[in-house]
Structure 1
Amino acid sequence: MSTLRFSLIICTYMRPEPLIKLLKSVQDQTLYPHEILIIDGSTNNDTELVLQENSFENLHYFRVDDKDRGLTRQRNFGISKVNSQSDIVCFLDDDVILEPDYFKNLLHTYEVFPEALGVGGYINNEVKWEKIGNNYIPLNKDFCHDGWKRTDGSRFVLRKKLNLDSNCPPGFSPTFSHGRSIGFLPPSNKTYQVEQLMGGVSSFKKSVFDTLSFSTYFEGYGLYEDADFTLRVAKKGKLYVNTAARLAHFHAPSGRPNQYSYGKMVVRNGWYVWRVKKPKPSFQDHLKWNCITILLTFIRFTNAIKGSNKKAAFTEALGRTVGWWSLIFNKPVISSKDKTNV
């Protein structure tokens, strides 16, 4: 059993029922957190009331006001409240449910790889994978990795046809960004080195936060804040994903932005993350980033004609379009702190 002391931070917003389901799965863990910090940005007291009705060991509740509301600000607030004796700080989204050995397997990774600055868990309910043999010949719709395959969505099939696919393993960002996330790692029970983690299933050595914090550029919902932070951490040391540390993600709809705002964030926040890592991209990288951004916007517009949720697809595509055009006249300003910490 791990001797590491670890704290769990859960940032939540208007999701009392999913939060309780998560905490009950934490309660069933074979390795229990030394402290649980609930950082609540809700604009009502529903979450506070439901926590008063349900008792969880080592839990500390904090309700934040406007100046600390939003995912990155709530995470930074939570870090400031972590016990000084903790070795590891874990983060979980409020709409996930853990398998019983999640923390046991996550913490064990730090013992196997003592140089690790961060370790991520593995979401196992979103993608269907299939084990393949050595002689398997992949189709264009397949994505294959480490003896497993999954079906690519239309965006990656098109990108492969146009020679715009990522040239890096999953969890690594190419020089033109638009890489494949850790969701493209197979359920092999192996541990893989990466340079990006998903913030809602992540953990870091507490010492990381002596010099780094989550960027406050990412307001509110904070899309891609995890990519920004972990790319900066990866410049200082190694990050891993342990696919044996498993959990399910249920994407609670409450607390999410509307599709127009989401589409705009995809482009503008994506540009920010790309340029923090690559301040001076080559002409080819610049061309590829823009081509992929336009292609993904086009696909969302086609979804508005052929897809099952036409209105959502159209409003997201509109947000992406506005976000792309806005980069010509009003690029995001990269903070000097984020530049320094790359």
Structure 2
Amino acid sequence: MYISVIIASVGRPQILGETLKSVARQKRSPDEVILVVNSQADLPIAPVFGIEIKTLFSERGSSIQRNRGLENTSPLSDIVVFLDDDVELSEDYLSKVENYMELNPDVVGFSGIPVLNRPQDGLMPHSVAREILKAQPLSPFTHTDQKGLYGCNMVSRTYAARREKFDENLALYALLEDRDFGIRLRKYGRVTEYSGARVIHLGTPGGRVSQRQQGYTQIMNPAYLYKKGQGYNISDIYHGPIKSFFANVAGVLGLSKSLTPNDPAYYNRSERLHGNFIAMRDILRGKINPQGVRHVRK
């Protein structure tokens, strides 16, 4: 199988460099690595040895950047792996990806289940994450059907990814573009999560959108996806914007320690709530458009 790896990144060159080193350490090397950034300043200062990297420059936005990468994959590509720029992969990650897709021809896409997600409030170094993955005992692998995918690591058969692509109306950080993409992939087969492809999602803060813009997308993006249809339903609305809104209210009222005890330190619930209200105002005015986040003051 020909495996393409695509990483979109903006404003985090040091973090990105460590993730690329993790890709370079793979026992099963990728057949191509495509890096999509906004400018030269986004690129790691130190070279990453061991892999060839194709670098593309694109308008900012994870959906847009991932699509540019997808459009430039090799005609030979069988599988495309979309990685966040702040993940540490087990050294057998790509070999497990290949093996799983070969043994499960009915699976069109999956996400590896993170061993840890945003450990130490997103401040865990790559080196520590790497040692945790090496020390973790292997357990029986599980896989279960899912409605969508989880964006830190998404695997798709390339033919299906090319047909569906990511929704570029979901601007900038593009909250929920992973779930929407995974839902649409189900036209072609099963979408699952698989514990054998081990990854730690560091969840490193910085370089993305402001907390106010994040709050805007918490309300606007689910409303847009619900209006668009294609599988996003009332249950998703409850588990998405409603829970986010009340978590932000709890934070502002000083109740976050009891209701949301695992909040990273960099969450600003007041700013997120402000963004929630801006999105609600736009929706009440009939403006259900995720591009509105571009006009929210940082």
**TM category, shorter:** 0.7 to 0.9
TM-score of the aligned structures, taking structure 2 as reference length: 0.79
Conserved 8 A contact 2:108-2:157: yes
Out of 5, 12, 29, the residue aligned to residue 2 of structure 2 is 5
Query: Runs of 5+ in structure 2 lacking a partner?
Result: 120-138, 258-264, 291-298
Deviation at 1:333, TM superposition (A): 5.3
Greater displacement, 302-311 / 94-103: 302-311
Q: Which runs of 4+ in 1 moved over 6 A?
A: none
> SS where residue 314 of structure 1 aligns?
helix
Does residue 22 of structure 2 align to residue 25 of structure 1?
Answer: yes
The separation in 2 between residues aligned to 1:95 and 1:249, in whole angstroms, is 6
The separation in 1 between residues aligned to 2:140 and 2:213, in whole angstroms, is 36
The separation in 1 between residues aligned to 2:93 and 2:6, in whole angstroms, is 15
The equivalent of 1:301 in structure 2 is 249
AA matched with 2:2: R
Out of 268, 271, 281, the residue aligned to residue 312 of structure 1 is 268
> Percent identity among equivalent residues?
24
Does residue 184 of structure 2 align to residue 236 of structure 1?
Answer: no
Out of 174, 177, 181, the residue aligned to residue 225 of structure 1 is 177
Query: Runs of 5+ in structure 1 lacking a partner?
Result: 129-186, 335-342
The equivalent of 1:50 in structure 2 is 45
- Shift in alpha-carbon separation, 1:47–1:326, aligned structure 2, 3 A: closer
Deviation at 1:69, TM superposition (A): 2.5
TM-score of the aligned structures, taking structure 1 as reference length: 0.70
AA matched with 1:21: E
Q: Number of matched residues?
A: 263
AA matched with 2:225: V
> SS where residue 14 of structure 1 aligns?
coil
AA matched with 1:46: A
CA shift digits 1:264-284 (9 cap, x unpaired): 101110112233336897xxx
AA matched with 1:305: L
Out of 255, 260, 280, the residue aligned to residue 324 of structure 1 is 280
- Shift in alpha-carbon separation, 1:243–1:274, aligned structure 2, 3 A: farther
AA matched with 2:271: T
Does residue 111 of structure 2 align to residue 116 of structure 1?
Answer: no
Conserved 8 A contact 1:195-1:238: no
The equivalent of 1:180 in structure 2 is none
- Shift in alpha-carbon separation, 1:48–1:210, aligned structure 2, 3 A: closer
The separation in 2 between residues aligned to 1:324 and 1:279, in whole angstroms, is 22
Root-mean-square deviation (Å) = 2.8
- Shift in alpha-carbon separation, 1:25–1:279, aligned structure 2, 3 A: closer
- Shift in alpha-carbon separation, 1:20–1:83, aligned structure 2, 3 A: same
The equivalent of 2:95 in structure 1 is 104
Out of 262, 268, 280, the residue aligned to residue 220 of structure 2 is 268
The separation in 1 between residues aligned to 2:117 and 2:170, in whole angstroms, is 25
- Shift in alpha-carbon separation, 1:62–1:277, aligned structure 2, 3 A: same
